């Protein structure tokens, strides 16, 4: 399956990042989240050698903050669309919509600032 954009959306939807739910820390939700993270990591490595990565730029414009944050972090790891990825992470790090996503964006920015790259 090569539809990278759809896979990003699908895997991010499986992250289940709504921390306001009563069962947020349940074993089943943690398993689902970890599985989605594994799939995102494999997807990152799959696209490392793809010539046309323009779909990542398109995903940086997504309405879904989770997709944008994950794609932005992958862009920083790949060293592409860096300016746009940093802008997405900075904006999302200040968002009041979802504290977990804002924290993830802040964490990505902090690691990138310290290390100069992100590794997956």
The CATH number that applies at residue 76 is 1.25.40
> Which residue range(s) make up the domain with 67?
4-115
Q: Does 120 fall in a domain?
A: no
| Domain count within the chain | 1
Two tokens, residue 46:
């799959």
- pTM for the full model? 0.89
Tell me the Cα Rg of the chain: 14
* Residue-level pLDDT, tens digit, the chain, 120 residues: 479 999 999 999 988 666 555 655 678 878 888 899 999 999 999 999 999 999 999 999 999 999 999 999 999 999 999 999 999 999 999 998 888 899 999 999 999 999 998 988
Convert the pLDDT of each residue in 58-72 to its tens digit. Answer: 999 999 999 999 999
Q: Does 54 fall in a domain?
A: yes
Q: Does 108 fall in a domain?
A: yes
């Amino acid at each position: 399956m090569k539809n990278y954009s759809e896979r990003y959306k699908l895997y991010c939807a499986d992250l289940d990042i709504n921390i306001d739910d009563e069962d947020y820390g349940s074993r089943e939700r943690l398993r689902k989240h970890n599985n989605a993270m594994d799939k995102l990591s494999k997807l990152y490595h799959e696209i490392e050698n793809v010539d046309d990565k323009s779909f990542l730029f398109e995903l940086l414009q997504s309405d879904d903050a989770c997709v944008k944050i994950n794609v932005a972090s992958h862009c920083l790891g790949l060293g592409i669309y860096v300016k746009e990825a940093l802008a997405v992470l900075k904006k999302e790090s200040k968002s009041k919509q979802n504290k977990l996503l804002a924290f993830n964006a802040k964490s990505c920015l902090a690691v990138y600032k310290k290390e100069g790259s992100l590794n997956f």
